[in-house]
Structure 1
Amino acid sequence: MKALRLNVTLLKNEIGEQELSITLINDSDAVIKPMSLHIDVARWTDSLELSQPNRGIEDKTESPVFSQIGSHLVIPFTQSVTSNSSLCWRLLTRQAAYLRLSDFPSSSYLNFEHKQVQLVMELNVEILQDSPKIEACKLKPAGRDIIVPEPAKLDYIEQTIVITWPLRILCESNETLLDQQLAWVSRQNAGLTFCNSDAGKVGNGDILLSFEYDQSLETEGYTLELQGQNWHIAWSSESGRFYALVSLSQLLMNQPDVIEAQLIQDCPRYDYRGQMLDCARHFQPLNRIKMLLDWMAFYKLNRFHWHLTDDEAWRLEIKAYPQLCEIGAWRGEGLALCSQFGSGAGKSGGYYTQAEVSDILSYAAMLQIEVIPEIDIPGHARAAILALPELLVEAQDQSTYQSVQFYNDNVLNPGLTSTLEFLETVLDEVCVLFPSSVIHLGGDEVPKGVWQHSPAVSELAIGKQKTAESYLFQHLQQHLNQRQRLLAGWEEIAHHQLDTSAIVYAWNGIEVGLECANKGYRVVQCPAQHAYLDMAWDNSPLEPGFHWAGTINLKQAYEWQARDSSLSQAQQALIIGTQSQLWSELITTKERFEYMVFPRVCANAEVAWSLDTKQNYLHFSTKLNHHQQYWKSRDIQAKYLELEKG
């Protein structure tokens, strides 16, 4: 079927009340018989009114039955739509005003007689106005410094070193890990080859690189000295040695003809320097994950927080429950999980086998990155619940609720013995598969009203001082501790009287993280206002991204501190690091992925690594010129920033 369109027109756009007209247009010669319209929307639909076909949208005559699951809105209709005619609805929402194109419906199709027809989407949003603009960030002209994140100490030596390309660096390597890392550096730098120093004589343009173990250095610290043809790395740990090679890689990334002789003495400010990737909302292929790991290593980030499960999909193979991936990893018309966020009528999704996970773990370990898995519970668990209803649903529970993402069936029931058995079994497999000492269990956004009418929860002997959710997390913390693992979760877990071995990821603001540290918890600061890479860059309607936490330009991603002088020295030590998040509701392509990540990942890396006394946004922006040139050579679809004039 051809020439079927869906026109979406913004009629009203006020805070607390927005109105869209949705018009199904039939330009074909066929008659569209009664069926259902499916459309993924970003807002909860408060009401829907049908206008008479082929008449003005002012002639509202009927309030049709409709349903919405998450972002997926289904509108059945009983009218036939003849050739060159249309059918129109008015859709009312009562939330924040529409600000950008990515706020609008993203995908639609018709469903009839077990067939689906994709519709061409048209947006008519002339009344969408720019919000007050934040002045676009621009870069200062490139300076002599290159390395991101900023080293603790860098001294230039009055000497220039001529570099001959292709470049050979001769060094001694008698271990597999170092060989793998040297090969990785070569892949990041076209024209660079590492050779064993005993493989032949030194040529005119060759560089001699020596390594020295120095136990006086900080754990992840290093020194890198470049003079003439003799370069030297000192290190006290494998990670420190690797970060010296990373700094060397950055100095050579644009194939310079000369570099300045220099001595770098460096170590990180925070032990934890993280990046989270959501692979549940949209499946991210293995090569994209490895690409992210490459760039994390290139900017000395050392924790990959892997968000593997959510309402929209379960992505991790669990051998004890194959249904989790057979059912819970896929979305599409007629499946247990319907389309969300524009994934469409066809079967879409995927999951990671345990063999593939092991491959990712090996690759990350070579790059000195620890992989922290997240199994998000008890909310955000709809995919698991629909995959295993016989275990995870209490038929007698008459509780009603709605999650912030518009689900009424996405919360695990801690009163069911089968829920605890399910989680213990899953976590046991996770602990065997992942060597990380930290297992992240989510714990965020459990809606009000859950379990209020659950017989199983009412029978729990938990006392008045403990909630069902606290009971669940205390039970799982004990389960993980017995396996020498630490429970981590989003900031909400700090309300559950867990022992202070738990690690809290504070996402609602810097102050929340400080409060959790004041309670004695170790904290990873990941405030949405600075570190959520799914936020739009600025207020332009054309910029993709969310805006519930504001917009985040490069300066906002850079100018923040995880610690605060209001904390005691001991409490400040509990702020163990920072992390940026990439939630994937809007991440449907490699290009969008890279656009949201670069260059903000560099800002977050410098916040995590460099001392506050070494952080200077203007200086940082001069270095970024060198990196933008490198990204272009690597075909990265970044948000490229213009050079400041004058």
Structure 2
Amino acid sequence: FNNKNLLEILIKNNSDQIFSAFKICFSLIYSIKSIKDARISRQTGRYYELKTDDSNLPAHGSLLIALTLQEPRIGTYNMSCGPEGLFVIDENEKIIQSLINKLTFEKKIAQTIYSTSYVNTSMPIIPEPLVVKLKNDFIKCNNDFFINDQRLLEIINVLSRHCLNLKINFNSKQGMLINFKKEELKTEEYAINILQDQILIIASDYGGRLYALISLMHLIFFYRDKLPLGLIQDRPQFNWRGMHLDCARQFHSLDHIKRLLDYMVLFKLNRFHWHLTDNEAWRLDVKSFPNLAKQTSYRGYHEIIPPVYGTGYHRSGGFYSSKDVKEIIEYANKLNIEVMPEIDLPAHSWALLQVMPELQDKKSNNIFQDVGNYQNNTINPTLDDTWNFLESVLKDIAENFPYSLIHIGVDERPKDSWRGSSELIEFMKKNKFQSFDEIQDYFVNRIINILKRFNKRTAAWNEAALPPHKDIGSGGGTGNIDKSCLIFAWEHMSVVEKALKQGFETVMCPGQLCYFDMAYNNSTYERGICWAATIETPDVHAWQPLNDIDPKYHHLIAGVQGQLWSETLTKDHYIDSMINPRLATLAEVSWSSKNRRNWSDFRSALFQSMQLTTKLGWNNHDF
């Protein structure tokens, strides 16, 4: 990037060969607005193939291409903004061996320097428990404990990898005794009573027992070879404490998903939102359409889906079989985590439509584009083929996912996506619909009724119930959908109250605080995007979700959720610093009471927790 924020791509021919009619292929996060000395020969979303104006590149010659990109909200670019997955193709459609230099910046914004000093807190547990009565009186334990109660042992078996990495032994007959007592407490509520001769855990359900042992692990790790006498009593503020992972833009292996689930349980998060389909892929294998995932889950230069978001020339990707889904669900359930799948409809369906074009009106001559530059990416909800497809797919998903909720997306539908369909216009006249937003209502309600037959509840993004928060060329709903739909309010906190006022139970997940694909700050050396905000860890901690919500709507707030979209996650290890420590901080927001500790005290606890996550193999961003 030069001083004028232009992206310059310098192509050098280091060989003795002349190259003609070659193409430069790559993905970007921000769209190209104009080009100097080249032209776009192909575009899908933000994947570009460029041909140069000068068709020949002489031996040992060079060529400079300058791109003007869509400008980020902060006015400058960072490490995620350059070309990803760049490769060069010759006139015979063969890849030319290339060396790619690192992205550089003429205009640099320095990295933020974070203080590394902190004072040890007496309460290292994140999220902060509701009641803590620990004394300055300690018992020696040397990290050796003994559990004989089967109800606790089954949890220790689940946490065995954590215990091994943290060098905590719960099977030492000479160790301190840990006993369990069942009492009628609320869901996930627990108590820990540390006495001279034993540690007593009190809970009424599996979640309570699990979280008691998790809190005890935090204490043991912090205090090392001793524990303070006293009492901890704890329960969550919100029932829904979730984390979303986008597995459509990038394929995440089962091991990487399990790794995230392990992190979630460490901070008492209990809902995994599994984003499985989008413009770029349909990752979920469904038995009624066995070729769908196989055809759309792999990308490459010669594949149906081009190499979007940095996947490069060669074939790459993957999908999740029914066996994979079962494995993740069983793993998550042992960690007290429910798994909610999402298939994103009716828009965000470009990949699906490449193999099932019958889900659009073939006679339509309308060309439209969504916010991600995908053309004609929306299925038509007035076609028999669409409903034959959805009936079968939703039945398959309902059979594979035992959790009561299925998320159907309904975000960012291009306003004009149905304008060119004569069949849809005729359907509108026949049913006296006045707008495309009413057609969306019809679509959502019909899916709600299908899922009810399968004993499932529908979830959707906020545009299912409301107009979009900002005019970005998308349509929305009129509010005329079944109130059983669980709304995920992602666009802004103001959207939360609008959904609540219409009577919808709502999960709060505003992009300005909960989108962990956002950069931490405006430094050139950060990763992430910033259309919603830049989000530092203290920004997440400062959020009081109930502060601006009328108390009469509090009963409709299901909880809080973080999101990680994968456009910029071109390397697996990028996940660590995007999530950690912001997700641990969001866990405090979602679990602990409104009167939780201040930033200084929390930061001290966070330093301790980051030492713990490091032991478990996680890197973290500074804070």
The alignment's TM-score, normalised by the length of structure 1, stands at 0.89
Which residue type is aligned with residue 373 of structure 2?
A: F
Within the candidate set 169, 183, 194, 2:146 is matched to 169
The answer on whether the counterparts of 1:185 and 1:246 sit within 8 Å (CA) in structure 2 is no
Residue 194 of structure 1: CA displacement? Answer: 3.2
1:360 and 1:80, CA in 2 relative to 1: closer, same or farther beyond 3 A?
same
Residue 128 of structure 1: CA displacement? Answer: 2.5
What SS does the corresponding residue of 2:20 show, helix, strand or coil? coil
Instruction: Answer yes or no: is 1:472 the counterpart of 2:443.
Output: yes
1:65 and 1:504, CA in 2 relative to 1: closer, same or farther beyond 3 A?
closer
Residue 69 of structure 1: CA displacement? Answer: 1.1
1:486 and 1:549, CA in 2 relative to 1: closer, same or farther beyond 3 A?
same
Structure 2 unaligned runs (5+)? Answer: 467-476
Equivalent residue, structure 1, for 2:453: 482
Partner Cα separation in structure 2 for residue 579 and residue 154 of structure 1: 26
Count of aligned pairs between the two proteins: 603
What SS does the corresponding residue of 1:429 show, helix, strand or coil? helix
Residue 116 of structure 1: CA displacement? Answer: 1.6
Partner Cα separation in structure 1 for residue 386 and residue 375 of structure 2: 18
Instruction: Answer yes or no: is 1:117 the counterpart of 2:96.
Output: yes
Instruction: Answer yes or no: is 1:155 the counterpart of 2:137.
Output: no
1:278 and 1:155, CA in 2 relative to 1: closer, same or farther beyond 3 A?
same
Which residue type is aligned with residue 577 of structure 1?
A: G
Which residue type is aligned with residue 180 of structure 2?
A: F
Instruction: Answer yes or no: is 1:341 the counterpart of 2:309.
Output: yes
The answer on whether the counterparts of 2:433 and 2:439 sit within 8 Å (CA) in structure 1 is no
1:313 and 1:250, CA in 2 relative to 1: closer, same or farther beyond 3 A?
same
Which stretch of the first structure deviates more once superposed, 33-42 or 539-548? 33-42
Equivalent residue, structure 1, for 2:612: 630
Residue 11 of structure 1: CA displacement? Answer: 5.7
What SS does the corresponding residue of 1:327 show, helix, strand or coil? helix
Partner Cα separation in structure 2 for residue 448 and residue 321 of structure 1: 29
The answer on whether the counterparts of 1:24 and 1:88 sit within 8 Å (CA) in structure 2 is yes
The answer on whether the counterparts of 1:151 and 1:264 sit within 8 Å (CA) in structure 2 is yes
Instruction: Answer yes or no: is 1:446 the counterpart of 2:413.
Output: yes
- The correspondence of residues 125-164 of structure 1 with structure 2, limited to 5 A, is 125-130=104-109, 136=114, 140-164=118-142
1:123 and 1:625, CA in 2 relative to 1: closer, same or farther beyond 3 A?
closer
Give the percent of matched residue pairs that are identical in Structure 1 and Structure 2.
Answer: 30
Partner Cα separation in structure 2 for residue 182 and residue 90 of structure 1: 53
Instruction: Answer yes or no: is 1:531 the counterpart of 2:514.
Output: yes
Partner Cα separation in structure 1 for residue 70 and residue 258 of structure 2: 41
The answer on whether the counterparts of 1:99 and 1:128 sit within 8 Å (CA) in structure 2 is no
Which residue type is aligned with residue 400 of structure 1?
A: I
Which stretch of the first structure deviates more once superposed, 274-283 or 104-113? 104-113
1:565 and 1:550, CA in 2 relative to 1: closer, same or farther beyond 3 A?
closer
Map Cα deviations across residues 181-211 of structure 1 (whole Å, 9 max, x no partner): 364653453242336xxxxxx52xx111111
What SS does the corresponding residue of 2:399 show, helix, strand or coil? helix
The answer on whether the counterparts of 2:112 and 2:523 sit within 8 Å (CA) in structure 1 is no
Partner Cα separation in structure 1 for residue 327 and residue 120 of structure 2: 38
Instruction: Answer yes or no: is 1:516 the counterpart of 2:499.
Output: yes
Which stretch of the first structure deviates more once superposed, 224-233 or 122-131? 122-131
Residue 21 of structure 1: CA displacement? Answer: 3.2
Equivalent residue, structure 1, for 2:473: none
Partner Cα separation in structure 2 for residue 254 and residue 28 of structure 1: 59
Partner Cα separation in structure 2 for residue 344 and residue 274 of structure 1: 32
Partner Cα separation in structure 1 for residue 374 and residue 567 of structure 2: 15
Within the candidate set 561, 575, 599, 1:593 is matched to 575
The answer on whether the counterparts of 1:108 and 1:118 sit within 8 Å (CA) in structure 2 is no
Instruction: Answer yes or no: is 1:71 the counterpart of 2:53.
Output: no
Instruction: Answer yes or no: is 1:559 the counterpart of 2:524.
Output: no
What SS does the corresponding residue of 2:150 show, helix, strand or coil? coil
Equivalent residue, structure 1, for 2:472: none
Partner Cα separation in structure 2 for residue 625 and residue 22 of structure 1: 41
Equivalent residue, structure 1, for 2:166: 189
Equivalent residue, structure 1, for 2:471: none
Partner Cα separation in structure 1 for residue 450 and residue 392 of structure 2: 11
Residue 480 of structure 1: CA displacement? Answer: 1.0
Structure 1 unaligned runs (5+)? Answer: 1-8, 14-18, 51-62, 196-201, 642-646
What SS does the corresponding residue of 1:253 show, helix, strand or coil? helix
Residue 590 of structure 1: CA displacement? Answer: 3.3
The answer on whether the counterparts of 1:372 and 1:440 sit within 8 Å (CA) in structure 2 is yes
Partner Cα separation in structure 2 for residue 31 and residue 154 of structure 1: 74
Equivalent residue, structure 2, for 1:214: 183
1:20 and 1:504, CA in 2 relative to 1: closer, same or farther beyond 3 A?
same
Which stretch of the first structure deviates more once superposed, 435-444 or 104-113? 104-113
- The correspondence of residues 118-517 of structure 1 with structure 2, limited to 5 A, is 119-122=98-101, 125-130=104-109, 136=114, 140-165=118-143, 167-173=144-150, 177-178=154-155, 180-181=157-158, 183=160, 186-187=163-164, 189-194=166-171, 202-203=173-174, 206-215=175-184, 217-253=185-221, 256-389=224-357, 391-460=358-427, 461-465=430-434, 467-495=438-466, 496=477, 497-517=480-500
1:139 and 1:414, CA in 2 relative to 1: closer, same or farther beyond 3 A?
farther
Instruction: Answer yes or no: is 1:10 the counterpart of 2:7.
Output: no
The answer on whether the counterparts of 2:486 and 2:507 sit within 8 Å (CA) in structure 1 is yes
Residue 392 of structure 1: CA displacement? Answer: 2.0
The answer on whether the counterparts of 2:344 and 2:408 sit within 8 Å (CA) in structure 1 is yes
Partner Cα separation in structure 2 for residue 160 and residue 214 of structure 1: 27
What SS does the corresponding residue of 2:170 show, helix, strand or coil? strand
